[in-house]
Copies of this chain bind each other. A is one copy, B any other.
Amino acid sequence: MQEQIQKILKHNQLSVTGGRTKILELFLAQDDALAHADIERKTGEKFDRVTVYRTLQTFLEKGIIHSIPTSDNSVKYALCKDNCSEGHHHDHHVHFMCSVCGKTLCIDEVSVPVVNLPEGYKVEQIQMIVTGVCKDCA
């Protein structure tokens, strides 16, 4: 695990530091998306709030994680199962939010259906947010 983390960071030309390692470790160990507050809690408040913000910002820029617009307008971040560091652009994504447990999951198995917009609209990115009840809460 530590080795994989180092590899990802180096691959993205980032110095290997305690904060980055810990936060990346969290994402790797997690199957659902994390909000900023989750990260602070899970790191045991060992890192400054600012460090967490900056780390997330950096990971976003490098494409290690991506942000998810949720239907309650809070911000969540997730690592994708397929390798985000390989330049996959997340242009088309399905996310699932469980209304019972609150978990937010990337649904990689499903491809985003094609939408036919009215004449004159150019599509760059499609995000789909499906709200409902997840496998575990059903």
Cα–Cα distance between A27 and B69 once the two chains are bound (Å): 23
- Interface bits A96-138 vs B (CB < 8 Å: 1, else 0): 1001000000010110111111111111111111111111001
- Which of A14-22, A47-55, A70-78, A79-87 is the contact stretch? A70-78
Judging by beta carbons under 8 Å apart, are A130 and B135 in contact?
no
A122 contacts across to B, CB distance below 8 A: 132-133, 138
Interface residues on A, range: 35 or more
Count copies of this chain in the complex. Answer: 2
Measured CB to CB, the closest approach of chain B to A51, in angstroms, equals 20
Contact (Cβ within 8 A) B113 A113: yes
Give the residue among A107, A113, A123, A127 with the most B Cβ atoms within 10 A.
A127
Is A12 located at the chain interface by the 8 A CB criterion?
A: no
Q: Which residues of B contact A121 (CB under 8 A)?
A: 96, 130, 132-135, 138
A67 at the B interface (CB under 8 A): yes
Cα of A109 to Cα of B116 in the assembled complex, Å: 10
Binding site for B on A (CB under 8 A): 67, 69-75, 94, 96, 99, 107, 109-110, 112-135, 138
In the A-B complex, the 9 residue pairs with the smallest Cβ-Cβ separation, listed nearest first, are: A113-B113, A120-B135, A125-B131, A122-B133, A69-B69, A124-B132, A123-B132, A127-B129, A73-B75
